[in-house]
Amino acid sequence: MRAQNSDMGLIVKTMARATIPLIGIFGAYVIAHGHITPGGGFQGGATIAGAGVLFLVAFGLSEAKEKINKNFYSVLEGIGGLVFLAAGMLGLGVAFFYNILWHKGPVFNGEAGTLLSAGYLSMMNLAVGLKVYTGLVSALFAIALFRRWKK
């Protein structure tokens, strides 16, 4: 069942094919460099969610229905929150949110300013980015599926 007029024309679709990977890569860059450059989990997650919105708008609801699995996205959002909490509890021997990886951890304790520094900060950025991306996409997908006024 292909809904009429629920997707854009050829030009918009082609441009979306070109730009969605770029937006995704930029968002991943913002998340991964959250402890070095401006940005972080929330901002990068919202950026990638923008790519998801572009996909939803350009290719229409019927195409998105095949690609977006609601249960999978819900599980990913929960996992993001749990990873954030687990990273906060790594240094529970000293205190909650004690950055043990930076002070005496085996990894993520490189020189400040490099990618593998700052302890659990990059882990938390990844978790929050995953959480924000999946949450925003599933919320927007739920809104897009809500079409009760048609009847």
* Contact residues for another protein, defined by CB under 8 A: 34-38, 40, 42, 70, 74, 77, 81, 84-85, 88, 96-97, 99, 102, 108-109, 112-113, 117-121, 124-125, 128, 131-132, 135-136, 138-139, 142-143, 145-146, 148
CB of 7 to another protein, least distance (A): 21
The answer to whether 107 and 116 have CB atoms below 8 angstroms apart is yes
CB of 97 to another protein, least distance (A): 4
The answer to whether 39 and 33 have CB atoms below 8 angstroms apart is yes
Quote the CA–CA distance of 54 and 42 in Å, as a whole number: 18
CB of 51 to another protein, least distance (A): 18
CA atoms within a 13 Å half-sphere pointing along the CA-CB vector of 43: 12
| Residue reference for tokens 């520094």 | 117
Of 72 and 96, CB closest to another protein: 96
CB of 17 to another protein, least distance (A): 28
Of 22 and 145, CB closest to another protein: 145
| Cα 41 versus chain centre, distance | 8
Please give the C-alpha separations between residue 87 and each of 71, 75, 78, 91, 92, in angstroms, as whole numbers: 24, 18, 14, 8, 10
Of 15 and 139, CB closest to another protein: 139
Of 39 and 60, CB closest to another protein: 39
What single DSSP character describes residue 150?
G
